[in-house]
Amino acid sequence: MFLRRILVTSYALLVLIGKVLGAKDDTSFQEGPWAQLSFRVACAVRYQLLGFQLTNYDEYPTYFREDSVMELAQAGTYKGLQAIQEYVTFTAPDSTYLTGGTYVISDMSRSGGYDPKTGLCIFDLAVRRRFETDPTTTNPDTLPFDGYSGAKLYYDLCNNYITRIDLWFPLGLVNHVFVDILESTQTRDYICNQLATSCAPYISDFDAATCQSNLAALPAVTNGEYSDGDSSGCRALHAAFVSLRPEVHCAHVSLSHKWRIL
């Protein structure tokens, strides 16, 4: 009996999704009294069937397209599968600067509705994580800490992929990461080593003797909260990506304005 109910419910949901997808351009259906509820149910079911997991990089071609965008106001905009993956690896448990971490509360989401003009489902996400830093690349006095983040995720119902994720980190968390944790001798050693080794083919005038002092003279963040611009935080961010695409990221890590890209 229980299995029969599951099958009946699943069939009903599939019929509903089929009707919603078939009526995506039907204005009369979209404006009907049950339209928003129908679209929300279809969004929730089809999104769950997508099986999205942020650190499952092998499935990124399923989750995203090359026009997909992830944006973090304090760091920048990342477009395409590879750029999105690079940013995610910065905060993943296997990050250059982490030794581990746990999703204490993961993917606590609610539906933000469906926009018939764009065909996008909208989800609001909240995540709480425990971070454990690597003392060889960060401030060794850092204790494990919990970090909170929010996101608005846009999912294309008809084409079955995520078009955009807008991330938000509290100001206190950004400053803790880039000022308290990454503003350290260990992090500067890591950045300088990346410039001296992986970036050697791309940066011809690297000066190892002044690298540490030049990095220490830079602000950790710009405008009080941004890990971009001419800061050590920006260089720490891109240094973590050098092993993935040195031809792109070495110019962001460079201390020479001859090669530097902000």
Based on the fold, state whether residues 130 and 195 are members of the same structural domain: no
Residue-wise pLDDT for 147-168, tens only, equals: 888 899 999 998 999 999 999 8
- pLDDT at position 9: 46
Based on the fold, state whether residues 216 and 104 are members of the same structural domain: no
pLDDT band at 2 (very low <50, low <70, confident <90, very high): very low
Based on the fold, state whether residues 135 and 245 are members of the same structural domain: no
Question: Which of 112, 138, 169 finishes a domain?
Answer: 169
- In this model, does residue 11 exceed pLDDT 50? no
Q: Which residues contact 197 (CB under 8 A, 6 or more apart)?
A: none
Based on the fold, state whether residues 91 and 208 are members of the same structural domain: no
Based on the fold, state whether residues 64 and 193 are members of the same structural domain: no
Based on the fold, state whether residues 133 and 220 are members of the same structural domain: no
- pLDDT at position 26: 52
Based on the fold, state whether residues 102 and 127 are members of the same structural domain: yes
Asked if residue 20 belongs to a domain, the reply is yes
- pLDDT at position 35: 64
Based on the fold, state whether residues 146 and 24 are members of the same structural domain: yes
Please give the share of the chain, as a percent, with pLDDT higher than 70. 79
Judge whether 258 and 214 are in contact, CB under 8 Å: no
Here the CATH number for the domain that contains residue 108 is: 3.10.450.50
Based on the fold, state whether residues 232 and 206 are members of the same structural domain: yes
More confident residue, 253 or 118: 253
Angle between helices 232-239 and 185-196 (to 10 degrees): 60
Asked if residue 210 belongs to a domain, the reply is yes
pLDDT band at 260 (very low <50, low <70, confident <90, very high): low
Asked if residue 97 belongs to a domain, the reply is yes
Asked if residue 176 belongs to a domain, the reply is no
- In this model, does residue 179 exceed pLDDT 50? yes
Residue-wise pLDDT for 222-245, tens only, equals: 877 778 788 999 999 999 999 889
Asked if residue 164 belongs to a domain, the reply is yes
3-state secondary structure labels for all residues of 145-205: EEEEEEEEEEEECCCCEEEEEEEECCHHHHHHHHHHHCCCHHHHHHHHHHHHCCCCCCCCC
Asked if residue 57 belongs to a domain, the reply is yes
- pLDDT at position 117: 80
Question: Which of 119, 137, 169 finishes a domain?
Answer: 169
- In this model, does residue 189 exceed pLDDT 80? yes
Question: Which of 143, 169, 195 finishes a domain?
Answer: 169
What's the mean per-residue pLDDT of the chain?
82
Asked if residue 260 belongs to a domain, the reply is no
The structural domain count of the chain equals: 2
Residue-wise pLDDT for 123-148, tens only, equals: 988 888 888 999 999 999 998 888 88
Residue-wise pLDDT for 72-112, tens only, equals: 877 889 999 999 998 888 888 888 999 876 665 555 566 66
The whole domain housing 141 covers 2-169
Mean pLDDT of all residues in 177-204: 93
Based on the fold, state whether residues 62 and 137 are members of the same structural domain: yes
- In this model, does residue 7 exceed pLDDT 50? no
Residue 13, classified by CB atoms within 10 Å of its CB into exposed (0-12), middle (13-18) or buried (19+), is: middle
pLDDT band at 44 (very low <50, low <70, confident <90, very high): confident
Asked if residue 165 belongs to a domain, the reply is yes
SS3 of residue 127 by DSSP: strand
Rg of the Cα trace of the chain? Answer: 22
Based on the fold, state whether residues 158 and 187 are members of the same structural domain: no
Based on the fold, state whether residues 7 and 52 are members of the same structural domain: yes
- In this model, does residue 115 exceed pLDDT 60? yes
Could you tell me the sign of the dihedral formed by the alpha carbons of 236, 241, 246, 249, in that order?
Answer: negative
